[in-house]
Amino acid sequence: MNKIIRCITSDGAVMASAIDSSDLVYAAQKIHRTSNVATAALGRLLTAASMMGAQLKQKDATISLRVAGDGPLGVVIAASDSDGYVRGYVENSNCVTEHYQNGKLNVGKAVGEGVLNVMKKLPGAEPYIGQVPLVSGEIAEDITSYYATSEQLPTVCALGVLVDKTTGEVLFAGGLLVQLLPGAFEDTIEKLEKNVHDMDSVTAMLTKGYTPLDMVHEILKGFEVEVLDEMEVGYRCGCTRESLENVIIGLPEDEIRELPDETGVASATCHFCNKKYVFTQEDLENLIKKKN
Ligand SMILES: [Zn+2]
């Protein structure tokens, strides 16, 4: 089970979210059969998306993050609903894994140079779209830069995915998202910076058995902390046969008739969950009827 906890300091100056996303990143690795570096990139982006989604609060709101770099990994996408349930996709799931000298996965090189796009959709409003150049391609720094540039919100973001080097299975994944609210004092910032500097990595804390709340206490050491809410999150794809039918109905009639392959059926696989949808010629004729 994965859990997000959201907290605020009792002086109202700092908000913090922490997540243990081990299970959902484990699920993503199984669905997409990602190489180790692809697991880390996708896992970090899913972890961030879940925390950012859980902040939206409004029902039916969604957020999507899209990392488009020129590296061998290709595009990485993660989307979350306002309950923090996520789904994601990486263009080149087999991307060759390289390491830094210290043994850490070199996610930045796999991602390359490019941009991070953030799209927020709130019900009844025009989508909000923000774009920032990638700082390092290591994802956490790119999220921090997005908040600083597009939302003018000073943010600390830490993300981690620990992969078993031989089996490729996800051992631990998690993250922290800490934001300074308007009016925070200089000493608050200094205290926070010191905590960030002294803190272990997210995966080191999870390995030690820390809960999301323990991680918040670590980054907000010296602050009085109140828990705002706690929620269960996971990997969930919202695709349905009906939504795919609507896409087909939107196509010109002659294109619908050209969809079936040599075996006489048309099939489509969802990018996010690998679920396969099959349409027979009869299904397609029925959709054409609905169109008219
Ligand atoms: Zn799906």
In whole angstroms, give the CA distance from residue 51 to residue 41: 16
> How far away, in angstroms, is 268 Cα from ligand 1 center?
10
In whole angstroms, give the CA distance from residue 12 to residue 10: 5
Q: Does residue 116 share a domain with residue 212?
A: yes
> How far away, in angstroms, is 236 Cα from ligand 1 center?
8
Angle between helices 241-249 and 281-291 (to 10 degrees): 60
Quickly list DSSP for 189-202. HHHHHHHHHHPPPH
Percent of the chain exceeding pLDDT 70 equals: 100
Q: Alpha helices, DSSP H only, in the chain?
A: 22-32, 36-54, 107-111, 140-150, 186-198, 202-207, 212-219, 241-249, 253-257, 281-291
Q: Does residue 26 share a domain with residue 6?
A: yes
> How far away, in angstroms, is 7 Cα from ligand 1 center?
32
Query: Domain of 268: which CATH number?
Result: 3.90.1280.10
> How far away, in angstroms, is 80 Cα from ligand 1 center?
13
Q: Does residue 180 share a domain with residue 145?
A: yes
Q: Does residue 79 share a domain with residue 32?
A: yes
In whole angstroms, give the CA distance from residue 88 to residue 77: 5
> How far away, in angstroms, is 269 Cα from ligand 1 center?
8
Per-residue pLDDT at 57: 81
Query: Domain of 78: which CATH number?
Result: 3.55.30.10
> How far away, in angstroms, is 137 Cα from ligand 1 center?
26
Q: Does residue 147 share a domain with residue 272?
A: no
Q: Does residue 251 share a domain with residue 150?
A: no
pLDDT surpassing 80 at residue 1 = no
Buried b (16+ CB within 10 A) or exposed e, 7-29: bbbeeebbbbbbbbbbbbbbbbb
The string of pLDDT tens digits covering residues 73-105 is 999 999 999 999 999 999 999 999 999 999 899
> How far away, in angstroms, is 11 Cα from ligand 1 center?
42
Q: Does residue 79 share a domain with residue 173?
A: yes
> How far away, in angstroms, is 12 Cα from ligand 1 center?
39
Q: Does residue 160 share a domain with residue 28?
A: yes
In whole angstroms, give the CA distance from residue 4 to residue 175: 9
Q: Does residue 249 share a domain with residue 126?
A: no
> How far away, in angstroms, is 140 Cα from ligand 1 center?
26
Q: Does residue 147 share a domain with residue 260?
A: no
The string of pLDDT tens digits covering residues 20-67 is 999 999 999 999 999 999 999 999 999 999 999 999 988 899 999 999
> How far away, in angstroms, is 205 Cα from ligand 1 center?
32
Which strands, in side-by-side order, build the sheet including 170-180?
A: 155-163, 170-180, 14-20, 2-9, 225-233
Judge contact between 179 and 14, C-beta under 8 A: yes
Q: Does residue 120 share a domain with residue 227?
A: yes
> How far away, in angstroms, is 246 Cα from ligand 1 center?
15
Q: Which of 186, 212, 233 is the last residue of a domain?
A: 233
Q: Does residue 50 share a domain with residue 31?
A: yes
The string of pLDDT tens digits covering residues 197-232 is 999 999 999 999 999 999 999 999 999 999 999 999
> How far away, in angstroms, is 239 Cα from ligand 1 center?
4
> How far away, in angstroms, is 277 Cα from ligand 1 center?
10
> How far away, in angstroms, is 64 Cα from ligand 1 center?
15
Q: Which of 199, 217, 233 is the last residue of a domain?
A: 233
> How far away, in angstroms, is 44 Cα from ligand 1 center?
20
Number of domains in the chain: 2
> How far away, in angstroms, is 240 Cα from ligand 1 center?
7
Q: Which of 233, 249, 267 is the last residue of a domain?
A: 233
Name the residue range of residue 72's domain.
2-233
pTM of the model: 0.93
> How far away, in angstroms, is 237 Cα from ligand 1 center?
5
